[in-house]
Structure 1
C-alpha cells in the first residue's frame, strides 16, 4: 500500500512569480512550472490540459500514477528558450523506501492557445513512451531457516490454493481432498460459500507432494481454480510450533530489508526494465530450535485433551530449544509464549528464594506445615489438607506446603516477591529477534493477605509457560539468561535486576532435587539428576485448577503447562515422556 502524500513545489524563478498574475501560461518557463505543479498535485486533467495532446497525456499519466503510486516530486531545473529540464523523485514500494530519481528534457511551443507542452511520455518518466510503467520489489534468493544443527527447518516452497466458486461441485471436491483433510466435506464447503456471500473461498492450500497425485482431477472439477504461490513452509510438514511464526516474520523482514526494486515498461512482448536496484543477498537464519527435543515435546503433549504447552531453554545460553503446543492449545493461540495463568506452586521457587535472601530462614529451618492455616484472614489449605506437622523448609518445599509458604511471605516486604521474581526473569519484558514473548506479572503485594496469595502463585501473580521455563533456567544459571531463538541474537530486557546469590541458587536447586526424589514428583525419580517443582493453580470458582511442572535436567530448563488439569499429574507425566524420549 502506498500513501498519497502530495509534494507541493514553490517556484522562486522571477518569471514564474510574474506569471501568477497572468490569465494563463504565456511563456515556456511558466507552462513548464504549471505542468510540474499539476503533476505534484496528481491533477491529471490539469497536467494533460497543458499539453498539445490532452487525450494521450491523460491516458498515459493516469496509468503512470496507477503503476507507480503518487509519492512523487517534480521540479523544473532549467528553461532554455523552448526546452526545459524536469527533475523527478519517486518514492516507491512499502514505506517509500525505494527511490527513483531522474532528469528528463521536455519542450514547449507557442500556438494559437498559448504555450503548450509538446506531449512526449518520456518527458514525464523515462520509458513511459515504451508502455505503461509499474513498480515491483525484487527479492534476493530466498534464505532458509535452519535448526540448531544447521538442518533445514523452513524454506520457501510453492503451494497451490484450491479456490472454490459458487455453484462448484463440492461433493466431487470433498471426495478428492478427503485423504488429505478429512475435515473438508461437501457440507463444510457449502457453509463456507454461503458465508462468503457469493465470493470464492479457499478450501485448502496444498504442497506439491499433495497436489501432484490429484491435480488433473482437481482442475477438472467445475467451479474449482488452482492458484500457485510461494510461501515459507516447514520442511517437515508435521512440524508445528508457535515459535515458527516469529521466525517467519524475521525471515520476511530480512527479505524486505534486502530487496531491490524495478520499474518496468509494459510492451507487446512482455516487460522491459527501465530502472531499478539489484537485491542484496540474505543469510540463512540459524535458529536455536532442537528438532529432536521439539518433536519429543510435541509427542509428549499429544495424549492430553486439554490445551497444553511445553517451553524449553538452555540455561547456559538462554537459547530456546523447544516450544510445543497440542491442537487444543493451538486453537487458543500461542499460549506457550504469551498465555498468562496463575503459576500455582511452581512460584514457590520464587517464594523460597525471597525468604532465603531475606535471611529469615535457611533450608533447614523447622517450620509448621498444618493441613489448613488461617493467615491474615485467608484460609490456606494444603492439597487434600495434608498435614506434615513441624518440618524443615526444604521438606515443606518438596512436599509443596501452601501453609508454610503463606506464613513465610507474610513476613516479607511488599516488593520482596516482585524483586525475587525479576531476578529469575519473571516480570521482565524482552525484545527478542524472531520471538514474541511475555514472562508474567508479579505486582507488589501491599497487604499481608495479598502476600499470602502471591506466595503460592495465586492472587495477582501470573506467568506464561515461557516465563516459568525462564525461571527454571535462571535458577540453573544463577541469573536470568537473555532468551534467544536465533543464534547470536539474544533478547534485550527492559530492566536488569541483580543476579541471584550463588548460595541461594544452590539451595533452591537442592530443594528442587528433593521434590523429585522424595516430594511431589517422585514418578520422575528414574531420570538422573532431574530437579523440579510441581504446581496446581486454582482458577474461576476454585473448582478448576491448572497443572504445572518446571524442571532442570543438565543444561535444559523447561516448563510444562496443562490447562484445567485439576492436578499437576498430567504436566509431570508429560515432562517424563519428553525427557525419556529425548535421552
Structure 2
C-alpha cells in the first residue's frame, strides 16, 4: 500500500517553507533526546520522534490515547479524543461489535504536527480472531488543536479508507454452497437446508403482552392452529421478560397467513436457515441428533469474511477465506418405514415412542413419537424403568454368570445392556452438555434406554441365526458408535437361546399373542406397575422394534402401537 505520508514531507507557513526528513529525525532524536525542544520551532514536527505520548497536550498524545482505547475496544473512550464524540462513538461501536475480534492492535505511524495547529497521522490496525485469523488495515486522519486540547478530526475513514457515514466493518461467517444434505439409506434427500421465518414475540416491545399474544395466535391460526394464545403465554412464562420464538415457518407457510405477523406489536419475523425434513409428513426424534452432526460438518468447513457495509451500498468483501462444501450425511433411515412409525406412534393418547433397527447390522431405520412424548422429552438416551420386561433376560444373565464364574456386568455388557452408547446422529445435544449424551444401565437400577433395548434386540436376533457377536446401533453410515462402560463381544447361545424361546412363547400364547399380521414374531412385553412405563421389544421380518410408552396402562398402549405398526407396514 502506498504510504499516506511520504518519506519527505513538505509543509508551508506564511514566512517560510521547511523540508524535514522524518526518518532522519527519528534517529537524531534517539541519540540526542534533550534537543527535542530545539526541533519544535520548525513548521513541521515529526511527533513520532517523541515516542508514545500518554497525554492529549500534543497531537501524538491524543492519537495514542485514541489507539489505546481502541485496543481496549472502548469505543466511548476512543470517541472522546475526536471532534464529534457522538458520531464517532456510534461508528466505532458498530465496527468493534461487528468485527467481534478477540484482540485489536492499533499502532500510530508517522504523526506530524504543523505550525497552523493541525496534524496528520496514519493508523495501522490489526484485528485478531481464533484460528490465527487476522485482518490488517491502514488508515489516515488529521487532528486539530482546540480549546479542549488536540482532537482527531472525525471522519469514518479513520476506521477504514472510503468508509461512508453510517458504515461499518464487520466479520461474518461464510458457508460453502451447496450446503450438505442428510440422505436416507436409499440416497434420497431426507433433510436439507431451507429458508425459514422465525416468528418472535418480544414482551419488552409491546405495551400489552397478553393482547399481542392473542393477536399473534389469531394470525398464525391458518397454518399453525396448535400455537394458541395459551401456548404462547406458557412460553413467555418460562422465560419472563425474554423474547420467545412462537413458531418457525417455511416460506410457503407464510403465504397462507391472512395477515402479517410483523403488524402485531412486539412481533418480529427473523429470516434464518434451518435443516428440515424434505417430506413434510415426516417428523422424528432423530432430527436433533442429525442436525447436530450436520452442523458440526458446517462448522468444520465454515469460512470467514470481513466486509465493509453502509447505507445504500452493497457489502464489499475486504478479506476472507472459504473452503469447499462439506460432504452430505448418509444415514440408515428408511423414509417409508419412518412414515409408518409416525403413523403408529399417534395410535394412543399418551406418550409413545417407537424405534426400528435392522436386526443384523444394528442400523437404525427410523424413530418416531407422538406429541405427548415430545412434551415429556422422551429420547433414545435417557434411561427408564424396565419393570418386568427384562425378567427372562436377567434370569439367564444370572445363570450364565454363575455357570461361567463371571460377573453379571460382563454378560450384560455383551448383550448391549450394560454399556453406554453415544450414537452420532441419534444422541441428542443437551443444555448442560452440548453435543451428545450417554446413559448407563446396571441390574440394580432396573433401567434401560431405548438404545440399550435396541442393542439387546439386535444381539438376540443375530444369535438366532448364528451371528454370535453383538454390535452397536448406528444411524450414520461409516461413523461408528462410541461404546464405553463395558465391551460388546461374543454371545453365548446358552444365554440367548432361552431368552429367544421365552420371546417366542410371549408372541404365541403370552401378552403379545393378540397381535396380528406379525408372522414369526418374538417379543418381550412388560411394565413397571400400573402407571408404567410400558415396553415392547419385538423381532420380526429382519427388524427389531422397540416401543416405549408412559402413563396408565402403558403396557397395553405399547401393544396398541405395535399392532398399528404391524397392520400398516
Question: TM-score, normalised to structure 1's length?
Answer: 0.70
Q: Does 1:503 align with 2:493?
A: yes
Aligned to 1:270: 313
Q: CA 1:173–1:56 in structure 2 vs 1: closer, same or farther (change >3 Å)?
A: closer
Per-residue deviation at 1:309?
A: 1.6
Per-residue deviation at 1:332?
A: 0.2
Contact kept, 8 Å, 1:254 with 1:282, in 2: the verdict is: yes
Q: Which among 103, 123, 138 is matched to residue 104 of structure 1?
A: 138
Contact kept, 8 Å, 2:88 with 2:154, in 1: the verdict is: yes
Aligned to 1:325: 369
Aligned to 1:482: 472
Aligned to 1:491: 481
Residue by residue over 1:308-337, the C-alpha shift from the partner in whole angstroms, topping out at 9 and shown as x without a partner, is 221222243332112121222121013444
Aligned to 1:86: 124
Q: Does 1:471 align with 2:456?
A: yes
Q: CA 1:42–1:431 in structure 2 vs 1: closer, same or farther (change >3 Å)?
A: same
SS at match of 2:392: helix
Q: Does 1:144 align with 2:181?
A: yes
Q: Which among 330, 341, 360 is matched to residue 316 of structure 1?
A: 360
Q: Which among 519, 523, 528 is matched to residue 537 of structure 1?
A: 528
Q: CA 1:417–1:48 in structure 2 vs 1: closer, same or farther (change >3 Å)?
A: same
CA distance in 2 between partners of 1:569 and 1:575 (Å):
10
CA distance in 1 between partners of 2:236 and 2:502 (Å):
59
Q: Does 1:76 align with 2:107?
A: yes
CA distance in 2 between partners of 1:332 and 1:526 (Å):
31
Q: Which among 333, 338, 345 is matched to residue 382 of structure 2?
A: 338
Aligned to 2:402: 358
Measured on the aligned residues, the alpha-carbon RMSD in Å equals 4.3
Q: Which among 31, 38, 48 is matched to residue 69 of structure 2?
A: 38
SS at match of 2:389: helix
Aligned to 1:527: 518
Q: CA 1:511–1:56 in structure 2 vs 1: closer, same or farther (change >3 Å)?
A: closer
Per-residue deviation at 1:352?
A: 0.8
Q: Which among 261, 271, 296 is matched to residue 229 of structure 1?
A: 271
Aligned to 2:18: none
Per-residue deviation at 1:340?
A: 2.0
SS at match of 2:355: strand
Aligned to 2:351: 307
Q: Does 1:261 align with 2:298?
A: no
Q: CA 1:573–1:439 in structure 2 vs 1: closer, same or farther (change >3 Å)?
A: farther
Q: Which runs of 5+ in 1 are unaligned?
A: 1-12, 361-411, 444-453
Contact kept, 8 Å, 1:426 with 1:439, in 2: the verdict is: no
Per-residue deviation at 1:462?
A: 0.7
Q: Does 1:239 align with 2:239?
A: no
Q: CA 1:549–1:475 in structure 2 vs 1: closer, same or farther (change >3 Å)?
A: same
Question: TM-score, normalised to structure 2's length?
Answer: 0.71
CA distance in 2 between partners of 1:53 and 1:499 (Å):
74
CA distance in 2 between partners of 1:505 and 1:355 (Å):
8
Residues 395-544 of structure 1: pairs in structure 2 closer than 5 A: 416-436=407-427, 441-443=440-442, 454=443, 460-477=445-462, 478-497=468-487, 499-504=489-494, 507=497, 508-524=499-515, 527-538=518-529, 543-544=530-531
CA distance in 1 between partners of 2:78 and 2:53 (Å):
19
Q: CA 1:479–1:75 in structure 2 vs 1: closer, same or farther (change >3 Å)?
A: farther
Q: CA 1:270–1:560 in structure 2 vs 1: closer, same or farther (change >3 Å)?
A: same
CA distance in 2 between partners of 1:482 and 1:533 (Å):
20
CA distance in 1 between partners of 2:237 and 2:440 (Å):
44
Q: CA 1:430–1:63 in structure 2 vs 1: closer, same or farther (change >3 Å)?
A: same
Q: CA 1:63–1:534 in structure 2 vs 1: closer, same or farther (change >3 Å)?
A: closer
424-433 vs 525-534, which moves further: 525-534
Residue by residue over 1:440-467, the C-alpha shift from the partner in whole angstroms, topping out at 9 and shown as x without a partner, is 5444xxxxxxxxxx5xxxx622112222
SS at match of 1:436: coil
Q: Does 1:250 align with 2:293?
A: yes
Contact kept, 8 Å, 2:361 with 2:471, in 1: the verdict is: yes
Q: Which among 536, 541, 561 is matched to residue 548 of structure 2?
A: 561
SS at match of 2:518: coil
CA distance in 2 between partners of 1:218 and 1:466 (Å):
44
